[in-house]
């Protein structure tokens, strides 16, 4: 059930490794492969994991169960996606989520400790792996920090201004496209779609911005 090298080299985790490094690296990491039936539990809330998961085929879901047993789906992980990577490097931190196979799935588990270990032959490959993990973790961090900073605003208008300003600065222009439709943007900001739609139009009436579908243009206050 070993995955193809070409598949692995496209994943975030193994990105940048060469065709000939990969066998050696895998040999050194000693991954385990596991198959799961649909709805089978892969990792359980409360467990102490020290392994990074990598979805090879199928689809897995990250779910959360609260004090009263209400379940909610936090994320989907598709082939090539990692899961539990934040826990793999925090020994003693118990899982706050469960991971379940949404379809029959094949999964690779990689020991976090082995990834950081120095082994004589593969040091260079480990460095690449660690770079990839660190970069991905840093990327998620920035994305989450931005999301929190938008959601912290008290009104829908200020949430929108925070988000749009951030997009504008990222684009380096007052004119830019956003990667969401209205429903997705509302979900991202944690507000109601229709209320948000309404607020956008008010902001346009107030001369703060112009927009058309996915395209926005912010106006500096000088134009008022």
Partner DNA sequence: ACAAATCCGTTGGATATGCAACGATAAGCA
Partner DNA sequence: TGCTTATCGTTGCATATCCAACGGATTTGT
The residue ranges that bind its own copies (CB under 8 A) are 45, 64, 66-68, 74, 85-90, 93, 96, 116-118, 123-124, 127, 130-131, 133-135, 137-142, 144-149, 151-154, 161-162, 164-166, 168-170, 174, 190, 192, 218, 220-221
- CB-count burial class (<10 Å; 0-12, 13-18, 19+) for 146: middle
Q: How many CB atoms lie within 10 A of CB 47?
A: 13
CB of 168 to DNA, least distance (A): 18
* 155 interface partner picked from DNA, its own copies, none, CB below 5 to 8 A per type: DNA
With CA atoms as reference, report the closest residue to 195 among 203, 20, 102: 203
213 makes contact with DNA (CB under 7 A)? yes
> Which of residues 38 and 124 has its CB atom nearest to its own copies in the complex?
124
CB of 37 to its own copies, least distance (A): 27
CB of 60 to DNA, least distance (A): 24
SS3 189: helix
User: Distance (Å, rounded) from C-alpha 71 to C-alpha 102?
Assistant: 14
Among 8, 51, 54, 200, binds DNA (CB under 7 A): 200
Burial annotation 93-122 (CB, 10 A radius, 16+ → b, else e): eebebbbbbbeebbbbbbbbeebeeeeeeb
CB of 188 to DNA, least distance (A): 12
């Amino acid at each position: 059930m070993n995955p193809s090298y070409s598949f692995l080299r496209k994943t975030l985790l193994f990105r940048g490794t060469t065709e000939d490094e990969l066998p050696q690296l895998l040999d050194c990491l000693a991954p385990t492969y596991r198959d799961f039936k649909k709805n089978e539990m892969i990792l359980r809330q409360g467990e102490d994991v020290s392994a990074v998961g990598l979805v090879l085929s199928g689809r897995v879901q990250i779910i959360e169960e609260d004090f009263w047993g209400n379940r909610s789906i936090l994320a989907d992980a598709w082939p090539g996606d990692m899961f539990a990577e934040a826990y793999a490097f925090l020994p003693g931190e118990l899982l706050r989520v469960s991971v379940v196979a949404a379809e029959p799935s094949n999964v690779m588990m990689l020991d976090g400790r082995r990834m950081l270990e120095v082994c004589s032959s593969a040091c260079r490959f480990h460095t690449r792996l660690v770079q990839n993990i660190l970069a991905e973790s840093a990327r998620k961090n920035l994305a989450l920090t931005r999301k929190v900073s938008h959601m912290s605003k008290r009104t829908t208008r200020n949430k929108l201004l925070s988000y749009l300003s951030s997009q504008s600065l990222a684009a380096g222009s007052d004119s830019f496209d956003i990667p969401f439709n209205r429903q997705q943007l509302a979900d991202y900001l944690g507000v109601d779609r229709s209320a948000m739609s309404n607020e956008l139009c008010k902001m346009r009436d107030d001369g703060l911005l112009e927009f058309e579908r996915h395209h926005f243009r912010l106006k500096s206050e000088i134009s008022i």
